[in-house]
Structure 1
Amino acid sequence: MAALFCGAALFPGLFFSFRRILRNTWTDWSDADVTAVSERLLSAVHASLATAAGVTVVSSCRDVMTDSHWLVNSFVLFGAPYMLFDIYAMYLNHRHTQEGSQTPSRRSLHAFRAFLLRDWMLVLHHLVLVFIFLPITLFFRRGLGDFFIGCLFLTELSTPFISVGKILIQLHLDDTKLYRINGLVALLTFFTCRILLFPFMYWMYGRHASVPLHRVAFHLPLHCNLGNLLLLAPQVYWFGLLLRKAQRLYRRTRKSD
């Protein structure tokens, strides 16, 4: 439980510290600007820690089913407060962005409803990780599959690059070479660690069980396949959004040239 309390103290503390530092550094920024960058910095910190945990676990497990690592359960507990707090941080960012001439109570209610309508998939993804993925990891795996949990940690590898891209936009650096390179790295890491990762995990299990890759899905219990599909589906959707954004940037760059 110490990991849970550490996460509950660290992530809100970092967020509010980022806000204070940014507000004092960029005095011309609005609350929306400060909150947006703080939320992205917090996301990058969590993602970097998750990636480091994933690399440690995956590189330590030789047997993909039976080898265990203490970091798996500890990091799941440590990261759970981030998932819940990040929902609040995203809402706060949305509320500051949408503030208008309404009364505060009506404005907050409207912003919350608009936030859920706009980011329902991301909110649902966070809630699924906390209320479904966490109990399964801690209580229902019977100590098996730490390797695959480590692989799921690695899905966060692309997040720091996505966060850096949004911060560069905030700094009006979205016409720079750095922004384009960062965007390309974000696309490659997202595709590798959030899309290709799933067939890789099936292939690794197939090697363990001596099952051909095309037969692995039929060899696994239905709930395992459904769980992987539930995690993969939003990644495919978000990757499509990234591709459309990259296409618009490419067209804009060609016109400027």
Structure 2
Amino acid sequence: MFALMAAGSVFFPGMFLLSRLTLRFVMGWSEADATVVSVRGVSSVQGAMASAAGYIIASSCHDVMEDKHWLTDAYISFAAPYFVYDVFAMFLCHRHKRQQQEGAHVAAFVRREVLMVLHHAFMVLFCLPASLVWRRGKGDYFQGLLLLAELSTPCLKKEHTLLYKVNGALMLLVFFGCRVLLFPYLYLAYSRYVSLPIHQVVLEAPWQCNVGVVMLWPLQIYWLTLMCRRALRLLTRRSDADAKKTA
């Protein structure tokens, strides 16, 4: 476990540094552009890796509680350092976008990204021990489904690109399915396993699962709301621009 965490601690920052150096000194990009694109690239790679691992795990487990797959604990251990790295990477992006004094950088970053920082801290301080220790080797299927939520990671990182504008509806659907509908589905799958009505499953589910859902699900709904508002503003701007052109 610790060897995999050490490997992840080298892999994610190392990929970021290699990408940024390549973009700056080989491609001739500015430091700010190279940093932002490198951060997005590492996030996309992590999202793709986690989604692939999640699919392999979930599709290999027929008994949702008892079946095991070696990749479950392995990838969770390997990816844990990513959430620490990502906070620092988001801070670097913030620093390049906001040309302020060093002392104001951290305070402004925390104020602006407080929910994301708390989310990443919760993932490391609670979800990591819950996944590796407290569940006692059970529920690999559910761990695989949770990893599949990372399929929407590239959507979060590209909200202002042309791809987002063209495929905004598809991205919203992906986020809705992977981050919002996922949590009710976890309870539905467990209710089928224990043969109980879904409204009684909350009392039967492990406590760490309920705590995780209470902490994470509202954030996903909130971020989906923000994405819908941005998409609506984008459509409104386009409508106004088209109206001016035809006037």
Q: Report the TM-score when normalising by structure 1.
A: 0.88
Unaligned 5+ runs, structure 1: 101-106, 169-173
Q: Give the 3-state SS of the residue equivalent to 1:50 in structure 2.
A: helix
Query: 2:13 maps to which residue?
Result: 12
- Counterpart of 2:228, as a letter, is L
Unaligned 5+ runs, structure 2: 243-247
- Counterpart of 2:176, as a letter, is F
Aligned-partner Cα distance in 2 for 1:11–1:137: 21
Alignment coverage as a number of residue pairs = 241
| 1:215 maps onto 2:209 in alignment | no
Please give the per-residue CA displacement for 1:31-81, whole angstroms capped at 9, x wherever unaligned.
222211111111111111111111011101111111111111111111111
Aligned-partner Cα distance in 2 for 1:248–1:111: 28
Aligned-partner Cα distance in 1 for 2:157–2:177: 17
- Counterpart of 1:17, as a letter, is L
1:220-235 aligned at under 5 Å gives the runs: 220-235=205-220
- Counterpart of 1:202, as a letter, is Y
Q: Report the TM-score when normalising by structure 2.
A: 0.91
Q: Percent identity?
A: 44
Aligned-partner Cα distance in 1 for 2:206–2:3: 33
Aligned-partner Cα distance in 1 for 2:26–2:229: 34
Give the root-mean-square deviation of aligned CA atoms: 1.7
- Shift, 1:212, TM fit: 1.6
- Counterpart of 2:96, as a letter, is H
Q: Give the 3-state SS of the residue equivalent to 1:137 in structure 2.
A: helix
Please give the per-residue CA displacement for 1:217-245, whole angstroms capped at 9, x wherever unaligned.
23324443222111111111111110100
| 1:54 maps onto 2:50 in alignment | no
Is contact 1:54-1:154 (8 Å) kept?
A: yes
| 1:163 maps onto 2:157 in alignment | yes
Is contact 1:55-1:154 (8 Å) kept?
A: yes
Query: 1:36 maps to which residue?
Result: 36
- Counterpart of 1:205, as a letter, is Y
- From 145, 156, 173, give the equivalent of 2:139: 145
Q: Give the 3-state SS of the residue equivalent to 2:142 in structure 1.
A: helix
- Shift, 1:24, TM fit: 3.6
- From 181, 186, 194, give the equivalent of 1:196: 181
Aligned-partner Cα distance in 1 for 2:147–2:48: 10
Aligned-partner Cα distance in 2 for 1:139–1:67: 16
- Counterpart of 2:70, as a letter, is W
| 1:244 maps onto 2:218 in alignment | no
Aligned-partner Cα distance in 2 for 1:91–1:211: 45
